[in-house]
């Protein structure tokens, strides 16, 4: 419900199977998969265009755009 009341939308793409996707949160929670290391770039919302350019390049693994 937190997502609903704060009007957030989460979307993504993946080549993982449903079983792999179900297993991933446990790995992240246990620290076995350091997910924060995969986020290579952080952009403020005001730099949205730059974030898109970075995402389109081969310079990033994951890009976050933060309000």
pLDDT tens track, the chain, 67 positions: 556 676 766 666 667 888 888 998 899 899 998 888 888 999 999 999 999 999 999 889 889 999 8
Tokens describing residue 48: 């949205």
pTM given for the model = 0.54
**What are the backbone dihedrals phi and psi of residue 65, each rounded to the nearest 5 degrees, phi first?**
-120, 115
Instruction: Give the helix ranges, DSSP H, for the chain.
Output: 2-5, 18-30, 48-56
């Amino acid at each position: 419900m937190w997502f609903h009341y704060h009007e957030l939308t989460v979307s993504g793409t993946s080549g993982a199977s449903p079983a792999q996707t179900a297993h991933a949160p446990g790995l992240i929670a246990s620290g076995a998969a350091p997910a924060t290391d995969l986020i290579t770039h952080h952009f403020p919302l005001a730099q949205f265009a730059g974030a898109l350019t970075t995402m389109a390049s081969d310079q990033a693994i994951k890009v976050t755009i933060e309000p």
